Structure 1
Amino acid sequence: MTRYLTTLALALAAAFLTPQVKAEKVMIYREGQLVNPTDVAAVLGKTRSVRLLDETPAAPAKYVSAAAAALAKTSARTPLLAHGREEAPVDASAVSLPVRFAFDSTDILPAARTQLDALADGIKLLAPDSIVTVEGHTDAVGSDAYNLELSRNRARAVRDYLVQHHGIDASRLKTVGYGESRPIEGAEPTAGVNRRVQFRGA
């Protein structure tokens, strides 16, 4: 009986002391969707989204699960929040863009530049000493090693674009590649939605 009570006590202690892992919330923009720089700054800087005085107020964005984001076929212009309900963008921990590159290349296609330009405007709203991590992700087509290297190179290409075209200090932008190891929840590993670049405040 003593052994049973001791085991039960240890199990209860472990349950209460083990930190609860929360699902990460990611603001997911679809291709061609307008990126709001103040929302980007709110997520990356963990500050409240403050709109510029000359801006017209925007309607609150709706956020849905990442599975719905992967399967969405609408032309809605609001970003999707993985694992979220209708919450403010500041509740997200990262911003995901479907940055398009030339096939088997790190050349950023012109279609991706509008979103990257708006993201750069959001980074410029952050404190001058803030750091942003640029994460490269791929789908599962190809070998693990190939995808890992491709994701690293594409993250660097995005960093270089932000430095060269927007004057953001390179020391403020860290890069990392995850290859195919972190697909969007609910999406097939080979789905195109997994080919993305994510940004998070460091």
Structure 2
Amino acid sequence: MTRYLSTLALALAAALLTPHAKAEKVIVYREGQLVNPQDVAAVLGRTRSVRLLDEAPSAPAAPVKYVSAAAVALAKTSARSHEKVPADASALSLPVRFAFDSAEILPAARTQLDALADGIKLLAPNSVVTVEGHTDAVGSDAYNLELSRGRARAVRDYLVQHHGIDAARLKTVGFGESRPIDGADPAAGVNRRVQFHGA
């Protein structure tokens, strides 16, 4: 009984002392939507306190709030010109299209990736960007995790080879199907994406 009470007391103390994770705000672009390099630099220039390493296992994530880039664009047109993106936005999500069952980037994705690269070039030379791969829930967990990692690496390689960004500035991680945008429909296409964080 004493052991149970001390374990319970430790668990309660840990729960009370652990800071609650602040919700992360991610700006979500749709396929074909214009990506503004200045907005990319503004969001990715904000750093997070936790740094992800290449292929690191995922830690419990803070809640995520997804904001449509169209809503951000509407807010920009109705707001004063110096207000660019939400001040608390910490990531960008692009619907990078890949060949089926592959990490081969399709040509349709290149325009958004090129604008993203222009935004990364506006950052300080020593800044680091984390490239996160995400999949939908079609297929096994293990398969989707490996596919998401391969796709994150493919995006990093594209940015390095086509835009001359130093590979050391681009960290990759894959989350598979574990962090859907649309949790109500885990197989929804919107869950297949690549997110970018300042690190």
The normalised TM-score by structure 2 is 0.74
The normalised TM-score by structure 1 is 0.73
Q: Deviations over 1:38-93 (max 9, x none)?
A: 1111111129xxxxxxxxxxxxxxxxx63x85xxxxx958569xxxxx99334111
Detail structure 1 runs of 4+ shifted over 2 Å in the superposition: 10-18, 75-80, 86-90
Question: Gaps (5+ residues) in structure 1?
Answer: 1-9, 48-64, 70-74, 81-85
Alignment-mate amino acid for residue 164 of structure 1? Q
What residue in structure 2 maps to residue 39 of structure 1?
39
Alignment-mate amino acid for residue 40 of structure 1? V
Fraction of identical pairs, as percent: 82
What residue in structure 2 maps to residue 120 of structure 1?
117
For these two proteins, the number of residue pairs brought into alignment is 166
- RMSD, aligned α-carbons: 2.8
Instruction: Find 1:96's aligned residue among 93, 108, 123.
Output: 93
Q: State the SS of the aligned residue for 1:25.
A: strand
What residue in structure 2 maps to residue 155 of structure 1?
152
Superposed counterparts of 1:52-201, under 5 Å: 66=66, 76=70, 78=72, 88-184=85-181, 186-201=183-198
Q: 1:11 to 1:99 in 2, by over 3 A?
A: closer
Q: State the SS of the aligned residue for 1:122.
A: helix
Larger RCO: 1 or 2 (CA < 8 Å, sep 6+): 2
**Contact kept in structure 2, 1:27 and 1:79, CA below 8 Å:** no
What residue in structure 1 maps to residue 23 of structure 2?
23
* In structure 2, distance between residues paired with 1:107 and 1:11: 46
**Contact kept in structure 1, 2:43 and 2:91, CA below 8 Å:** yes
